[in-house]
Structure 1
Amino acid sequence: MKINIKRFNKNDNENSGKKEYLVKNTNLLQALIEIKTTIDNSLSYRCGCKSGVCGSCAIRVNGVEKLACKTTINDNDLIEPILNTRVIRDLVVDVSHETFLLKNTNAFIEENKDIEISQNDINLIDVQSNCILCSSCHSSCPVYSVNKSFLGPFALSRALRYVNDKKSMNSTTIIDSIQTNGIWDCTLCSACTLVCPQNIDPKSDIMNLQNISVQNGYTNPNMQSFDANMGFDMSDMGFDPNGF
């Protein structure tokens, strides 16, 4: 089986560009290991657990974000690094900035409540707790591609996890931190949801955070701008907003 891998080496143009390899393994990660050990030891990729838990082997296959360890390849597949981040070499990327965005959400418990936690309370935060920080969602995100200050899908899903955590004494700090370059900047396109290997739905999480923010007195700044640009005066249409 032939696969094509996008190579990048800033110090060696000869080892950059798309290269074709003939492999026996149909699992992508095993195919990468096969190439590294028997064909071309200069190939660089990242892996850890090899079982879909650590998220370190996230790549793109034919333009779609995947975990290499969980992906079955087909003839002539194109393998590339994930998008919207700096490529270090070949399929290895720098995800430090995306991880840094987690800190900007203040998504942690500052002070614990001394309360009993039920199974329902655990279930409420269970899905978001399964995030493996693979950055597939950031790679697919059209907003993050043009605004690296955007908190992005996994950081916002993590924020919801702690907002909903019954052990947290106060979630106001988290809600405050996601208003700018956060929940209102998302286009709700679902690209992140489609590529999440853990079946997390960041779009739904962001919508939930928008609702929670409104309940806490925040408004969508995009709607304020929309209203200002409409240019109508409703009283011109015979409507008195103060009447009945």
Structure 2
Amino acid sequence: MININIKRENEFVEYGVDLEDVTLLEVLIEIKTKQDVSLVFSSGCRSSVCGSCSMRVNEREVLACSYKVQDGDTIEPLKNVEVIRDLVTDMDASYTFNARAKAWLQEGLGISLTQDDAKINEVQSDCILCGSCYSACPVYSVNKDFLGPFALTRVWKYVSDKREGEPKTKIDNVQLNGVWDCTLCNECTIVCPQNISSKTDIEKLRFKSAQYGYMDPNFGGFGSFDGSPSF
């Protein structure tokens, strides 16, 4: 018998299932089909690809389809986003940051990439938009204008792409509520199911920002927004 506690509205509800060595998603399905049809959660591929079943277990972000449930686990929805119901959250606000940061190929140069070129940002292409990094981010929890981990990782993907003809435009777009606001705490990397290090990507964006004349506004000045150095 496995007993878990699921946060529903403002309280935790305990459920018990007669299962062993199963994923959290399997437990949730068992509860919904045999005990409480009103329980609401999201799932899709069941293969850790779609990211739709992201939630928190014992205060840590996981994918329900891959997490092996343990007796006594506490299950909650993601943090820092609107809870629609039970374990289902609204990620629309977070997804808009990709548009704000212009996180796509803007000025394609029409050149072909070699295998080595493709490997430069291969890992960043694996993001499944599960939202775990936003849930774990302490900056986003206090500043809802912060572009956040997966948007900044996506920006680095295209800044480092040799086909991008206007990388500076992307760097310009991540100065305000972007690369300098991150605390580099690495929480986003720890919870990423795809092992993407947004912290490392943000550090690379900072270095690239410095090459274009920007500087950390927390150290004596505010970076130039016209690409010229600030002194």
Q: Do these two structures clear the TM 0.5 threshold for a shared fold by scoring above it?
A: yes
Give how far 1:225 is off: 5.2
* TM-score, structure 1 as length reference: 0.88
Structure 2 unaligned regions, length at least 5: 223-231
- Partner residue in 2 for 1:169: 165
1:188 to 173, 177, 184: 184
- Partner residue in 2 for 1:82: 78
Paired amino acid for 2:64: A
Give how far 1:180 is off: 0.2
Paired amino acid for 2:182: C
* In 2, Cα distance between equivalents of 1:162 and 1:139: 24
- Determine whether 1:116 maps to 2:108: no
- Partner residue in 1 for 2:149: 153
- Partner residue in 2 for 1:55: 51
* TM-score, structure 2 as length reference: 0.92
Figure out how many residues of one structure are paired with residues of the other and give that number.
219
User: What secondary structure, in the 3-state scheme, does the structure 2 residue paired with 1:79 have?
Assistant: strand
* In 2, Cα distance between equivalents of 1:111 and 1:163: 11
Paired residues for 1:212-227 under 5 Å = 212-224=208-220
User: What secondary structure, in the 3-state scheme, does the structure 2 residue paired with 1:69 have?
Assistant: coil
2:65 to 62, 69, 78: 69
User: What secondary structure, in the 3-state scheme, does the structure 2 residue paired with 1:74 have?
Assistant: coil
Paired amino acid for 1:89: R
Structure 1 unaligned regions, length at least 5: 9-15, 227-244
* In 2, Cα distance between equivalents of 1:190 and 1:110: 29
Runs of 4+ in 1 over 3 A off after TM superposition: none
- Partner residue in 2 for 1:238: none
RMSD, aligned α-carbons: 1.2
- Partner residue in 2 for 1:235: none
- Determine whether 1:21 maps to 2:18: no
Of all paired residues, the percent bearing the same amino acid is 52
* In 1, Cα distance between equivalents of 2:158 and 2:142: 27
Paired amino acid for 1:221: P
Paired amino acid for 2:85: R
